Amino acid sequence: MEANQFRKFLKFNFKHYFRLFWQKQRLGFCGDRVFFDDNVELMRFPKGIRIAGQVALKEGVRICACNPTASVSIGENTTIGYHTFIFASEQITIGKNCLIAPFVYLVDSDHEINRMSLINQQPNKTAPIIIGDDVWLGSNVTVLKGVRIGDGAVVGANSLVNADVEPYTIVGGVPAKVIGKRE
């Protein structure tokens, strides 16, 4: 199997090996040959973050386990695109061999909106996000709490995913709707 263009030309240098060494000390788990590009931030509770081997995190990625019990897990051979934000208050799981394009936003929580109290004093509501293996999320996709995206699914650019996506289904739009199946 031939590597995609990014992986085909991916070169590790001293700074990448240093970043890998540093992150292995901080994270709950960090596999081998994880590529940490410039300005990648693993925030708040890095022990809640697990990154399998051969993952590539491009410049500007932000991953946050927002509290001591929150978890983020990224499967092997997955690429996370430029300036993608992954914020877990409960759990976000990304499978193996996934492509996450630039500017994707994954967040497993939102706020209650009761009219009788101030918005900034209301609690979060959380539900896990589960992304299967071999999934492609296009640029500027937002995935909201409680969504499960099945193996092999494709989400078109600029989509808002607020409901589950069946395996090998292609979805797009705001909110995302089925537009096809992978053959």
**Residue 151 belongs to what H/E stretch?**
none
Amino acid letter for position 108: D
For strands 177-181 and 169-172, give the pairing: antiparallel
Q: Select which of 111, 177, 181, 182 is catalytic.
A: 111
The structure tokens listed for 7 are 């992986």
16 is catalytic: no
**Cα 29 from Cα 31, distance rounded (Å):** 7
Structure tokens at 137: 């999320």
Burial of residue 121 (CB within 10 Å: 0-12, 13-18, 19+) is: exposed
Active site residues: 111
